[in-house]
Amino acid sequence: MGYFREATGIPGPSGFGSASTAEQVTEGIDASGLTVIITGGSSGIGAETARVMALRGAHVIIGARNTEAAESVKQSILQNTPSARIDTIHLELSSQKSVRDFSDRFLSMNLPLNILINNAGVMYCPFKLSEDGIEMQFATNHIGHFLLTNLLLPKIKSTAEKTGIEGRIVNLSSAAHLTTYRGGIRFNKINDKAAYNDKLAYGQSKLANILHANELARRLKAFPKRASMLRQILFILDLLRRTWGDTQLSLLIPKFLSLAAVLRATTCVLWKSIPQGAATTCYVALHPSVKGVSGKYFADCNIEKTTANGRNETLARKLWEYSETLIKSN
Protein backbone atom coordinates (compact mmCIF):
# COMPACT_ATOMS: atom_id res chain seq x y z
CA MET A 1 0.00 0.00 0.00
CA GLY A 2 2.93 2.35 0.60
CA TYR A 3 3.84 2.88 -3.05
CA PHE A 4 0.18 3.02 -4.12
CA ARG A 5 -0.53 5.76 -1.59
CA GLU A 6 2.67 7.52 -2.60
CA ALA A 7 1.71 7.51 -6.27
CA THR A 8 -1.91 8.55 -5.75
CA GLY A 9 -1.47 10.92 -2.82
CA ILE A 10 -4.27 9.13 -0.97
CA PRO A 11 -3.93 9.78 2.77
CA GLY A 12 -2.90 6.91 5.02
CA PRO A 13 -4.07 6.09 8.56
CA SER A 14 -2.53 9.33 9.86
CA GLY A 15 -4.83 11.37 7.65
CA PHE A 16 -1.87 12.57 5.59
CA GLY A 17 -0.06 11.29 2.52
CA SER A 18 2.52 12.04 -0.14
CA ALA A 19 0.65 15.15 -1.31
CA SER A 20 0.57 16.70 2.18
CA THR A 21 2.83 19.67 2.89
CA ALA A 22 4.78 20.56 6.02
CA GLU A 23 2.39 23.41 6.76
CA GLN A 24 -0.65 21.18 6.38
CA VAL A 25 0.59 18.48 8.75
CA THR A 26 1.43 21.05 11.45
CA GLU A 27 -1.63 23.25 11.06
CA GLY A 28 -2.97 24.36 14.43
CA ILE A 29 0.05 23.09 16.38
CA ASP A 30 1.60 25.53 18.85
CA ALA A 31 5.35 24.93 19.17
CA SER A 32 6.11 28.22 20.90
CA GLY A 33 7.52 26.51 23.98
CA LEU A 34 9.88 24.24 22.06
CA THR A 35 13.51 24.49 20.97
CA VAL A 36 14.57 22.49 17.92
CA ILE A 37 17.96 21.85 16.32
CA ILE A 38 18.00 21.09 12.59
CA THR A 39 21.22 19.96 10.94
CA GLY A 40 21.60 20.99 7.32
CA GLY A 41 18.90 23.63 7.60
CA SER A 42 20.52 25.92 5.06
CA SER A 43 18.81 24.52 1.96
CA GLY A 44 16.14 22.21 0.58
CA ILE A 45 14.07 20.14 2.97
CA GLY A 46 16.11 21.30 5.96
CA ALA A 47 15.39 24.96 5.19
CA GLU A 48 11.68 24.24 4.72
CA THR A 49 11.62 22.34 7.99
CA ALA A 50 13.24 25.32 9.72
CA ARG A 51 10.72 27.69 8.16
CA VAL A 52 7.69 25.69 9.25
CA MET A 53 9.06 25.07 12.73
CA ALA A 54 9.62 28.80 13.14
CA LEU A 55 6.17 29.51 11.71
CA ARG A 56 4.67 27.31 14.44
CA GLY A 57 6.59 29.25 17.08
CA ALA A 58 9.56 27.00 17.86
CA HIS A 59 12.99 28.44 18.61
CA VAL A 60 15.02 27.06 15.71
CA ILE A 61 18.75 26.41 15.78
CA ILE A 62 20.18 25.75 12.32
CA GLY A 63 23.42 23.79 12.23
CA ALA A 64 25.04 24.17 8.83
CA ARG A 65 28.38 23.88 7.08
CA ASN A 66 27.57 26.92 4.95
CA THR A 67 26.82 29.59 7.52
CA GLU A 68 26.21 32.24 4.86
CA ALA A 69 23.45 30.12 3.34
CA ALA A 70 22.05 29.47 6.81
CA GLU A 71 21.98 33.20 7.54
CA SER A 72 20.19 33.74 4.22
CA VAL A 73 17.55 31.19 5.22
CA LYS A 74 17.21 32.94 8.59
CA GLN A 75 16.64 36.34 6.97
CA SER A 76 14.14 34.89 4.51
CA ILE A 77 12.15 33.37 7.36
CA LEU A 78 12.26 36.60 9.37
CA GLN A 79 10.91 38.56 6.40
CA ASN A 80 7.78 36.42 6.39
CA THR A 81 7.62 35.68 10.11
CA PRO A 82 9.12 38.68 11.96
CA SER A 83 8.51 37.08 15.34
CA ALA A 84 10.54 33.97 14.45
CA ARG A 85 13.36 32.95 16.79
CA ILE A 86 16.27 31.56 14.79
CA ASP A 87 19.96 31.10 15.48
CA THR A 88 22.64 29.66 13.21
CA ILE A 89 25.75 27.78 14.31
CA HIS A 90 28.51 26.37 12.13
CA LEU A 91 28.46 22.59 11.90
CA GLU A 92 30.60 20.33 9.72
CA LEU A 93 29.31 16.84 10.44
CA SER A 94 32.29 15.07 8.88
CA SER A 95 34.51 16.65 11.55
CA GLN A 96 34.14 15.34 15.08
CA LYS A 97 35.84 18.47 16.39
CA SER A 98 33.24 20.62 14.64
CA VAL A 99 30.43 18.50 16.07
CA ARG A 100 31.85 18.90 19.56
CA ASP A 101 32.31 22.65 19.03
CA PHE A 102 28.69 22.93 17.86
CA SER A 103 27.47 21.07 20.92
CA ASP A 104 29.55 23.24 23.25
CA ARG A 105 28.30 26.40 21.55
CA PHE A 106 24.67 25.34 21.82
CA LEU A 107 24.97 24.23 25.44
CA SER A 108 26.59 27.56 26.33
CA MET A 109 23.38 29.29 25.20
CA ASN A 110 21.57 27.72 28.20
CA LEU A 111 18.53 26.83 26.13
CA PRO A 112 16.26 23.83 26.57
CA LEU A 113 16.28 21.22 23.79
CA ASN A 114 13.06 19.45 22.87
CA ILE A 115 13.68 18.23 19.33
CA LEU A 116 16.79 17.17 17.42
CA ILE A 117 16.36 16.68 13.68
CA ASN A 118 19.32 14.87 12.11
CA ASN A 119 18.67 16.04 8.56
CA ALA A 120 21.99 16.93 6.91
CA GLY A 121 23.90 14.60 4.64
CA VAL A 122 26.09 14.12 1.59
CA MET A 123 25.36 11.81 -1.30
CA TYR A 124 27.31 9.83 -3.91
CA CYS A 125 30.69 11.33 -3.04
CA PRO A 126 33.91 10.15 -4.68
CA PHE A 127 36.02 8.19 -2.20
CA LYS A 128 37.52 10.47 0.40
CA LEU A 129 38.46 10.21 4.05
CA SER A 130 37.29 12.75 6.60
CA GLU A 131 39.79 14.58 8.79
CA ASP A 132 39.17 11.82 11.34
CA GLY A 133 40.13 9.14 8.81
CA ILE A 134 36.61 7.83 8.11
CA GLU A 135 34.98 7.39 4.69
CA MET A 136 33.20 10.68 4.01
CA GLN A 137 29.60 9.50 3.53
CA PHE A 138 29.72 7.28 6.62
CA ALA A 139 31.46 10.02 8.61
CA THR A 140 28.98 12.74 7.64
CA ASN A 141 25.68 10.92 7.43
CA HIS A 142 26.08 8.58 10.38
CA ILE A 143 29.06 9.19 12.67
CA GLY A 144 28.52 12.96 12.84
CA HIS A 145 24.88 12.52 13.82
CA PHE A 146 25.69 9.64 16.17
CA LEU A 147 28.17 11.83 18.05
CA LEU A 148 25.88 14.87 18.02
CA THR A 149 22.99 12.85 19.41
CA ASN A 150 25.18 11.41 22.18
CA LEU A 151 26.44 14.86 23.14
CA LEU A 152 22.99 16.44 23.22
CA LEU A 153 21.04 13.55 24.73
CA PRO A 154 21.62 14.68 28.35
CA LYS A 155 20.15 18.10 27.48
CA ILE A 156 17.14 16.52 25.77
CA LYS A 157 16.59 14.26 28.79
CA SER A 158 16.89 17.10 31.31
CA THR A 159 14.54 19.28 29.27
CA ALA A 160 11.94 16.48 29.15
CA GLU A 161 12.25 15.87 32.88
CA LYS A 162 11.92 19.56 33.76
CA THR A 163 9.04 20.36 31.42
CA GLY A 164 7.18 17.05 31.21
CA ILE A 165 7.16 17.49 27.42
CA GLU A 166 8.24 14.48 25.42
CA GLY A 167 11.57 14.94 23.66
CA ARG A 168 11.89 13.81 20.06
CA ILE A 169 14.88 12.83 17.95
CA VAL A 170 14.29 12.51 14.22
CA ASN A 171 16.75 10.67 11.96
CA LEU A 172 16.30 11.19 8.23
CA SER A 173 17.19 8.22 6.09
CA SER A 174 16.52 7.33 2.46
CA ALA A 175 15.13 4.57 0.27
CA ALA A 176 18.77 4.16 -0.75
CA HIS A 177 19.25 2.02 2.37
CA LEU A 178 17.78 -0.76 0.22
CA THR A 179 20.92 -0.75 -1.92
CA THR A 180 23.82 -1.22 0.44
CA TYR A 181 26.71 -3.65 0.64
CA ARG A 182 26.11 -7.33 1.35
CA GLY A 183 25.51 -7.77 5.04
CA GLY A 184 24.36 -4.17 5.39
CA ILE A 185 27.39 -2.56 7.06
CA ARG A 186 30.99 -3.39 6.06
CA PHE A 187 32.54 -2.94 9.49
CA ASN A 188 35.95 -4.19 8.41
CA LYS A 189 35.96 -2.31 5.09
CA ILE A 190 34.48 1.12 5.81
CA ASN A 191 37.64 2.76 4.49
CA ASP A 192 38.43 0.25 1.73
CA LYS A 193 39.01 2.42 -1.33
CA ALA A 194 39.49 -0.55 -3.68
CA ALA A 195 36.00 -1.91 -2.99
CA TYR A 196 34.31 1.49 -2.69
CA ASN A 197 31.06 2.14 -4.54
CA ASP A 198 29.58 5.61 -4.04
CA LYS A 199 25.94 4.46 -4.26
CA LEU A 200 26.39 1.43 -2.00
CA ALA A 201 28.37 3.52 0.47
CA TYR A 202 25.53 6.04 0.55
CA GLY A 203 23.03 3.24 1.11
CA GLN A 204 25.21 1.91 3.91
CA SER A 205 25.19 5.29 5.64
CA LYS A 206 21.40 5.54 5.30
CA LEU A 207 20.93 2.07 6.74
CA ALA A 208 23.17 3.19 9.60
CA ASN A 209 20.73 6.07 10.30
CA ILE A 210 17.91 3.54 10.70
CA LEU A 211 19.92 1.18 12.88
CA HIS A 212 21.14 4.07 15.04
CA ALA A 213 17.55 5.14 15.69
CA ASN A 214 16.42 1.61 16.50
CA GLU A 215 19.23 0.95 18.95
CA LEU A 216 18.77 4.31 20.67
CA ALA A 217 15.06 3.53 21.07
CA ARG A 218 15.93 0.17 22.60
CA ARG A 219 18.42 1.71 25.03
CA LEU A 220 15.98 4.43 26.10
CA LYS A 221 13.31 1.85 26.82
CA ALA A 222 15.68 0.29 29.33
CA PHE A 223 15.04 3.36 31.51
CA PRO A 224 11.21 3.50 31.85
CA LYS A 225 11.04 6.79 33.78
CA ARG A 226 12.99 8.66 31.15
CA ALA A 227 11.65 6.73 28.19
CA SER A 228 8.16 7.91 29.04
CA MET A 229 9.21 11.46 28.22
CA LEU A 230 11.90 10.88 25.62
CA ARG A 231 11.19 8.88 22.47
CA GLN A 232 13.36 8.20 19.45
CA ILE A 233 11.38 8.81 16.27
CA LEU A 234 12.71 7.27 13.06
CA PHE A 235 11.74 8.78 9.73
CA ILE A 236 12.59 7.41 6.29
CA LEU A 237 12.51 10.09 3.61
CA ASP A 238 12.45 8.81 0.05
CA LEU A 239 15.03 11.28 -1.26
CA LEU A 240 16.07 9.03 -4.12
CA ARG A 241 12.88 8.17 -5.94
CA ARG A 242 13.52 5.09 -8.02
CA THR A 243 17.24 5.69 -8.43
CA TRP A 244 17.99 1.97 -8.56
CA GLY A 245 18.24 1.02 -12.19
CA ASP A 246 18.87 4.49 -13.59
CA THR A 247 22.19 3.42 -15.11
CA GLN A 248 20.62 0.47 -16.89
CA LEU A 249 17.71 2.62 -18.04
CA SER A 250 20.05 5.19 -19.57
CA LEU A 251 21.40 2.57 -21.95
CA LEU A 252 17.95 2.26 -23.51
CA ILE A 253 17.41 5.97 -24.06
CA PRO A 254 18.67 7.72 -27.21
CA LYS A 255 21.60 10.03 -26.50
CA PHE A 256 19.71 13.11 -27.63
CA LEU A 257 17.15 12.65 -24.83
CA SER A 258 17.77 13.95 -21.35
CA LEU A 259 17.73 11.14 -18.81
CA ALA A 260 16.57 13.57 -16.15
CA ALA A 261 13.69 14.75 -18.34
CA VAL A 262 12.60 11.21 -19.11
CA LEU A 263 12.72 10.20 -15.46
CA ARG A 264 10.74 13.26 -14.45
CA ALA A 265 8.11 12.58 -17.10
CA THR A 266 7.75 8.87 -16.38
CA THR A 267 7.81 9.13 -12.57
CA CYS A 268 6.11 12.49 -12.09
CA VAL A 269 3.56 11.12 -9.64
CA LEU A 270 6.38 10.00 -7.34
CA TRP A 271 8.20 13.33 -7.17
CA LYS A 272 7.56 15.75 -4.36
CA SER A 273 7.91 19.47 -3.93
CA ILE A 274 10.14 20.65 -1.10
CA PRO A 275 7.11 21.50 1.11
CA GLN A 276 5.83 17.96 0.54
CA GLY A 277 9.30 16.50 1.14
CA ALA A 278 9.51 18.23 4.53
CA ALA A 279 6.05 17.10 5.63
CA THR A 280 7.05 13.84 7.31
CA THR A 281 9.92 15.47 9.18
CA CYS A 282 7.59 18.09 10.61
CA TYR A 283 4.88 15.53 11.26
CA VAL A 284 7.01 13.23 13.41
CA ALA A 285 8.68 16.17 15.12
CA LEU A 286 5.49 18.00 16.14
CA HIS A 287 2.26 16.11 15.62
CA PRO A 288 0.52 14.95 18.83
CA SER A 289 -0.54 11.65 17.24
CA VAL A 290 3.11 10.53 17.24
CA LYS A 291 3.42 10.94 21.01
CA GLY A 292 4.89 7.82 22.57
CA VAL A 293 5.94 6.28 19.26
CA SER A 294 9.49 5.00 19.37
CA GLY A 295 11.90 3.52 16.82
CA LYS A 296 9.46 3.50 13.92
CA TYR A 297 9.99 3.98 10.21
CA PHE A 298 7.81 6.64 8.57
CA ALA A 299 7.09 7.43 4.93
CA ASP A 300 4.58 10.04 3.80
CA CYS A 301 3.57 10.66 7.44
CA ASN A 302 2.63 7.01 8.00
CA ILE A 303 4.41 4.10 9.65
CA GLU A 304 5.86 1.68 7.10
CA LYS A 305 7.84 -1.56 7.34
CA THR A 306 11.55 -1.34 6.65
CA THR A 307 13.94 -4.01 5.36
CA ALA A 308 15.24 -7.05 7.24
CA ASN A 309 18.57 -5.22 7.72
CA GLY A 310 16.71 -2.23 9.09
CA ARG A 311 15.04 -4.47 11.69
CA ASN A 312 18.16 -6.43 12.60
CA GLU A 313 18.74 -5.83 16.33
CA THR A 314 22.09 -7.61 16.34
CA LEU A 315 23.34 -5.44 13.49
CA ALA A 316 22.07 -2.32 15.28
CA ARG A 317 23.92 -3.18 18.50
CA LYS A 318 27.11 -4.00 16.58
CA LEU A 319 26.89 -0.66 14.74
CA TRP A 320 26.43 1.22 18.02
CA GLU A 321 29.49 -0.41 19.55
CA TYR A 322 31.51 0.15 16.38
CA SER A 323 30.45 3.82 16.23
CA GLU A 324 31.49 4.33 19.83
CA THR A 325 35.00 3.13 19.00
CA LEU A 326 35.20 5.67 16.15
CA ILE A 327 34.19 8.64 18.27
CA LYS A 328 36.37 7.61 21.21
CA SER A 329 39.44 7.26 19.02
CA ASN A 330 39.24 10.90 17.90
Q: Which candidate in 3, 124, 181, 196 is catalytic?
A: 196
The 3-state secondary structure of 305-321 reads: CCCCHHHCHHHHHHHHH
* Calpha distance 77→85 (Å, rounded): 10
Burial 71-80 (b: 16+ CB within 10 A, else e): eebbeebeee
Beta pairing partners, 112: none
Annotated catalytic residue 181: no
Q: Do residues 196 and 163 make contact, with C-beta atoms less than 8 angstroms apart?
A: no
The DSSP line for 21-86 is -HHHHTTT---TT-EEEEETTTSHHHHHHHHHHHHTT-EEEEEES-HHHHHHHHHHHHHH-TT-EE
Residues marked as catalytic:
196
